[in-house]
């Protein structure tokens, strides 16, 4: 006849294992949610950055090419239509492209 206390202890041991397993799984889910949240914030900022750059190019001003870990690559695209300048704006985060925009504007004769 086992002591009640040792039975409780054994049961607790099993339950610790069960809880550790489920906690590990939940921790993984939390980590995934955190990563997705960071990606979302980054995407929002990338969209605004690209938009600002496109508008600056259209106005003939210098665009902001970097902000807080995100950086832009503005590549001028050759255009078949005379009088039109085209560019492709890509926002990168640590060498990964997050958002791309293509824009064009009229070439004003000097």
Partner 1 sequence: MKEKNSKITDLLALLVFAVFALCLCLVLLTGARVYRNLVQTGEETYARRTAALYLSTRVRQSGTVAVEDFGGCQALTCAEEIDGEIYLTRIYCHEGYLRELFCAENAALSPSDGEKVLEAENLTLSLEGTLLTAQLDGQTLTFHLRTGKEALP
Partner 2 sequence: MKKKEALSLPAIGGSSLLVIFAVLCLTVFALLSLGTVQAERRLSDKGAQAVSDYYRADLEAEKIFARLRSGEQVPGVVETEGVCRYTCPVTENQTLMVELEKETWVVLRWQVILRMEETEEKLDVWDGK
Q: How far is the CB of 22 from partner 2 (least distance, A)?
A: 5
- Whole-number Å distance between alpha carbons of 24 and 31: 11
Residue 89: strand, helix, or coil: strand
The enclosing H or E element of 101 equals strand 96-106
Binding site for partner 1 (CB under 8 A): 3-6, 8-9, 12, 15-16, 19, 23, 26, 30, 33-34, 37, 40-41, 44, 48, 51-52, 55-56, 58-59, 61, 105, 108
Distance CA(49)–CA(43), nearest Å, equals 10
Task: Please give the Cα distance from 102 to 86 (Å, whole number).
Answer: 7
Where does this chain bind partner 2 (CB under 8 A)? 4-5, 7-8, 11-12, 15, 18-19, 22-23, 25-26, 29-30, 32-33, 36-37, 39-40, 43-44, 47, 50-51, 54, 79, 81-84, 86, 99, 101-107
């Amino acid at each position: 006849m086992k002591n009640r206390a040792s039975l409780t202890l054994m049961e607790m041991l099993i339950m610790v294992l069960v809880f550790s397993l489920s906690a590990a799984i939940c921790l993984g889910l939390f980590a995934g949610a955190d990563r997705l949240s960071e990606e979302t914030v980054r995407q929002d900022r990338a969209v605004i950055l690209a938009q600002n750059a496109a508008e600056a190019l259209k106005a003939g001003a210098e665009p902001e090419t970097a902000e807080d870990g995100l950086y832009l690559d503005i590549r001028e695209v050759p255009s078949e239509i005379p009088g039109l300048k085209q560019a492709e704006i890509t926002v990168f985060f640590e060498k990964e492209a997050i958002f791309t925009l293509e824009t064009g504007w009229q070439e004003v004769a000097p």
